[in-house]
Amino acid sequence: MVENIPCTDLEQHSCIQENASVPRLIDRILAKSEAVLTSNGAVLATTGKYTGRSPKDKFIVRDAVSEEKVDWGPVNQPIDEEVFEKLYNKTMSYLKNQDEIYRFKGFAGADETSRLPIQVVSEYAWHSLFARQLFIAPTKDELTRHKAEFTVLSAPGCKADPVTDGTNSETFIIVSFKKRVILIGGTEYAGEIKKSIFSVMNYLLPERNIMSMHCSANVGDEGDVALFFGLSGTGKTTLSADPYRKLIGDDEHGWSDKGIFNIEGGCYAKCVDLSKEKEPQIYDAIRFGSVLENVILDENDNPDYSNTFLTENTRAAYPIEHMDNTMVPSVAGHPNTIIFLTADASGTLPPISKLSNEQAMYHFLSGYTSKLAGTERGVTEPQATFSACFGSPFLPLSPSVYAEMLGKKIEEHSVNVFLINTGWTGGTYGKGGERIKLSYTRAMVYAALQGELNEVETVLDEIFGLEIPRHVPGVPEDLLVPVNTWDNIADYQEQAEELALKFHRNFEKFTEASTAIKQAGPLYRKTIS
């Protein structure tokens, strides 16, 4: 049987590299031809056919520990203990037969009172570099006392046989909360390592009355904290990288009774169309020690971020210290402002709207966006999706657990909440619509964070019931009201009503929500068939 703290038998491996330095890992990466070095010093790896997460291949072991707690369903797929044991043994046997393996010991969680000691054992040196840059590295003293409470075994070359192993494909991502082990096999996409640990934290932190969140965070000179919720591709990393505010973290945070803390020690940025002009902080952070995934190089070994030959989900992983303006340690006080980000491909949601507390809970539970190409296997163009709490793929517990915690904190700390659409305007994706300019979105974010929109005059969106500011400095007023940007009002009306009905259909499953929250959705309520 698997022990609670596994991998003791790997200690006898003839060549296990533990917490190797960045130069040492890069040396091994190049020596083993796992990746190449770009002109800016970053390591560039390609991940084969899996260039995004594989949600249909992710499972949680159903056992005495998880049975009554996990929100079972299409997201949290159950798998038997016997299947896990078999794949664990298969994975361990595979790793022990490798000439060289790598182990990173570190932490998830910048708050020392609630952090999780973890270890990532990997087949690839570049995966170990990824883990080193994305999680929190221990000091020398901490390393001598480190005892992992959760283990990731990453073995891309270990492939499952669906017929005999009980999986859906050759790929498997399996979490056992009883054994405190994560198995990853059959995929080279490093994001599975990061998101698996996040899922674990989303299970463990609420037990300690700590809100776990899929969001980025930054803080101003006056200590004012902002959170940016949103799925991949909506702008969390980009918008939280602000030269005038210190970055706390770009993707995963906890909110305790003391304030905010980063779960990670690095950033995992989408870098499609990245440029120094538009996103200088992120652009300059990609240097020696960083990991690029699936980026194409030009003839001079320069990353060509506009080339999406392999995928639109090109990525850059780098330690938070590569950013010029960061909060060290990555902890801060309670938020003053929360921004929900969505990339609406229908072109009908307002670029910005101020939410009441009930609307905040409605849109948090809805978690609407248009899933962008490449973020998951098989997604080739934007698809309307509702991801509860803006992070459903990573939530082992019922969304109501997280929503209830957030609602209490918003009320307790009088937090202002805004919904910002970073998607399309003037038409739908591919049919006359244009992506809202980043400069306009930044102006909206700035106005929200500065309190300039708290008392501004608003106009009611008659379909979505949202309060739209009539004026935002630096943003054309016609852009603020979506119908004004469309050439054909009837087309706008059709698309907006269709999206409103999708909101209503999706929210039907939240039967435990209060009447006030249920009524905080779109005003358009045509009979739903």
> Rounded to whole angstroms, how far apart are CA atoms 409 and 414?
8
Q: Which residues carry out catalysis?
A: 53, 195, 214, 232, 236-237, 251, 315
> Rounded to whole angstroms, how far apart are CA atoms 165 and 218?
44
Token pair for 131 = 């883990």
**Number of residues that this document lists for the chain:** 529
Task: Kindly provide the residue ranges of all beta strands, DSSP E only, lying in 391-437, ordered along the sequence.
Answer: 416-421, 424-425, 434-435
Instruction: Give the 3-state secondary structure of residue 420.
Output: strand
Kindly give, in sequence order, each residue whose CB lies less than 8 Å from that of residue 403, ignoring residues fewer than 6 positions away: 361, 364, 365, 388, 389
CA angle 126, 130, 133 (to 5 degrees): 135
Under DSSP, the state recorded for 434 is E
Kindly give, in sequence order, each residue whose CB lies less than 8 Å from that of residue 406, ignoring residues fewer than 6 positions away: 211, 213, 361, 364, 389
Strands 296-297 and 303-304 turn out to be: antiparallel
Cβ-contact 153, 181 below 8 angstroms: yes
DSSP secondary structure letters along 254-294: EE-SS-EEES-SEEEEE-TT--TTT-HHHHHH-STT-EEES
Helix orientation angle between 125-134 and 22-31, rounded to the nearest 10 degrees: 150
Instruction: Give the 3-state secondary structure of residue 125.
Output: helix
Q: How far apart are the first and last CA of the chain?
A: 51
> Rounded to whole angstroms, how far apart are CA atoms 423 and 371?
11
Map tokens 């072109």 to a residue: 347
> Rounded to whole angstroms, how far apart are CA atoms 248 and 334?
12
Cβ-contact 240, 229 below 8 angstroms: no
375: amino acid identity, one letter: T
Kindly give, in sequence order, each residue whose CB lies less than 8 Å from that of residue 93, ignoring residues fewer than 6 positions away: none
Burial 255-276 (b: 16+ CB within 10 A, else e): bbeebbbbbbbbbbbbbbebee
